[in-house]
Amino acid sequence: MLDGLRRLWEVENLSPHGICLLWRPELIWTHIVTDTLIALAYFSIPIALATFVSRRRDVVFGWVFWSFAVFITACGATHLMAIWTLYVPDYGLEAMVKIVTAAASIGTALALWHLMPRALSLPSPTQLRRANEALRARIRERDQALAALKQANDERQRAEALLRQSQKMEAVGQLTGGVAHDFNNLLSVVLVNLDRVERGLPGDSRLLAPLRDAMQGAERAASVTHKLLAFARKHPLSPVSTDVNARIGSFAELLRGTIGAKIRLVTDFAPGLAPLDIDPNQLENAILNLAVNARDAMMPEGGTLTIRTRPLDGGAGAGEGAGEGVCVEVSDTGAGMPPEVAARAFEPFFTTKPLGQGTGLGLSQVLGFAEQSGGSAAILAGRASGRERGTTVRLSFPAAPRSAPAAAVAEPAAPSGLDFGPGFAVAG
């Protein structure tokens, strides 16, 4: 065996390949150039594979790349040996290089066939693309579900806030009604006795002035209790079938002295409104409260106060089926209410006016009257009212039953288009 290995490396009795080519330069250089280029290409491929695998640690079956690198490097060495044996008959070394190349080739082929089932089980680019599309679709569904859940949660929180506000207002109303009722009875006793004392005093008594001041203070306190009773929906009402347009039209003239010369009053009445079963005096009082609030919001610059009536169902409404109720809206062109103020505006004793300039009972009295009459009150601030600025308070009342008496409180309405003095007009 040793003798065979020794003879494998002997070159004395061998001739180089160049002799077979008769040392023809064109053949020699053709083999040299082509084998050199093939060898360089073979040596560059393993470098590229090694760079790719070293930088991409996440590549699956990375050892296959290294196996191919060894195999291709060995193939490049065989081409270099082909150039070498053109001049040197070193065929034993060439045989050893081919043995290494054969071993690398067989090892790489066996490994590749062994790896084939696992490689085929990997998802194809098309499968990956479909999986990504399905994943994106599920992500969109999840995002939509989260958005719907967030919206539902926001709605639940708003509903809970409205419920808490309603419960708070109900509790405040019950407490206010009880206290105001008892306090009103006590004030009645005080006023009756003060009136008796006043009648019993001589006309020149020095006690008359402080007594009358006391009576005036007690009357103001009684007025506050009446407002509290209205908010608590315990104020006695005297509802009659009322033509709202006629009532407000006749009452509009009286508002002129209240709102001042800087405020322009406009009325906009929808024709053919159904009559309301309502207390007309309390309706006027509610509109007066709203007009005073609107006036204060527009001062000192002034502005326009609009009183508008509409069918509750939004119809045009003349004749039969003119609507199931009436909306009365009082709008101003003031600065408007921030949302946080509008949310609390109907609370008793809540006011944004300076200390001593308001009791905070005006809007609460309006709310109590509307609800006691079977209707509702709402504040539309800013763009919610369809206006760029200002505030609109909407009172909604149900229509009187069809079996109600035909007679109605129907003071003659102010004719459309009349001018009631500076800053006052009726639009009709």
Give the domain-ending residue among 231, 266, 284. 231
Same domain, 53 and 194: no
Same domain, 393 and 248: yes
Residue 417 is predicted with a pLDDT of 34
> Other CB atoms closer than 10 Å to residue 55's CB: what's the count?
8
Domain interval for residue 15:
2-122
Note whether residue 422 is domain-resident. Answer: no
Same domain, 283 and 394: yes
Look at residues 370, 405, 396 and name the one whose alpha carbon lies nearest to residue 241: 405
Give the domain-ending residue among 189, 210, 231. 231
Note whether residue 428 is domain-resident. Answer: no
Same domain, 78 and 26: yes
Same domain, 188 and 286: no
d(CA 305, CA 290): 10
Same domain, 13 and 141: no
Residue 4 is predicted with a pLDDT of 63
Give the domain-ending residue among 196, 231, 266. 231
Residue 145 is predicted with a pLDDT of 93
Domain count for the chain:
3
Quote the distance between the C-alpha of residue 233 and its chain's center: 36
Same domain, 276 and 210: no
Same domain, 323 and 262: yes
Note whether residue 140 is domain-resident. Answer: yes
Note whether residue 371 is domain-resident. Answer: yes
> Other CB atoms closer than 10 Å to residue 294's CB: what's the count?
27
Note whether residue 426 is domain-resident. Answer: no
Residue ranges of the chain with per-residue pLDDT less than 70: 1-8, 165-186, 203-204, 223-236, 313-323, 349, 352-361, 381-388, 400-428
Same domain, 7 and 146: no
Same domain, 163 and 217: yes
Same domain, 207 and 163: yes
Residue 426 is predicted with a pLDDT of 32
Same domain, 290 and 392: yes
| Residue 397, SS3 per DSSP | strand
